[in-house]
Chains A and B, each alone.
Chain A
């Protein structure tokens, strides 16, 4: 566990400027809303929350899709894998790191929403940001899995297509759809609800999806040659 946390902290440190930018972006948007209208209406604020909750999921996919590639390109991955680090610990470290990065953003969104004057903040925040945080974890695990064997751009696109599959089969059974891609239903929930909590089954599916894709990514990554010889 210590190695996972070390790799996660390291990832967070490496992405600090991107994370800081995202953390500042949410309050900047909130400040702009207050600047335009001294007391922004609740509809606008709810839309802000829904929008940022969806962004967290999408940013999570983008961050995770590039995580392994960045370490490989800089060859820093060799200095980590040459230590007593298992491939699954490395993947778990990146996953936790991506989640922490997005958790900072989600916390910033929550603070911005509250400061901007969102009413009934606790209920609305939990209705949107909890599924957002779990959906982001699931999408990050999926993008990490694809990035073990694909270029980050293709990995991100593949993860997006995979997670959007229920949309392609609109008549799919909702329970089956949740099992295949809970993230699709998380996004659907985030963008349509205002204060209703997400079904707990959906949140559990997000966790299961994360574990399955983390295990698959670890297995796939363990089969791969990490370094291309330089000589």
Chain B
């Protein structure tokens, strides 16, 4: 079965946007700042070209198309997971108190999501590859949404504001992940018969995400100078400890006053 004209149009629009994104990433030298996002942009072009070629050669419902689609989906999904981790690192990597904890949480999420997907794929009697891709996608999409919201929330609480490019990547990834969770839920419950539509809607959602990523790359990126260290780690540790001791003493004193009032 061949692709419908609408599906063809969507694929072409998707290819165009992916090529444009990839070109802009290299033209603006974003790979220096966000290497995993740049790798992801390259993989998107490779994926769409390969999948489109296979569809064209062997047809939409052929076995090679099936395997190529799901294998490419898994690779791109894992690359997206690396992009989310990279965003966390660029925003939180400079905070020595937070980053080691965040890194452990991210590794735990990845292990749980992929472990869940592997177990689900192992237990299924139908296609393990498709089951693994869908299960890992479901688990990871919701994790991405959580992590990105937590990242934005952290920035809002501690004034660690995201730069425009990173912010747009967060918006694009966050919107796409949220959309995918909704899309997968509907797919599971009601839309098994409408697989074509499911894929098309997913393509449109991703095209919108790419447009969001392309917007800040239209202009040259400002040179980012490495942040100057205004206080040494040792001094910060010593002074903050002093402050903590003061706070504890004041708290104890207040408690003592409160107790003496009640006597």
A and B: interacting chains: no
Q: Which residues of B contact A (CB under 8 A)?
A: none
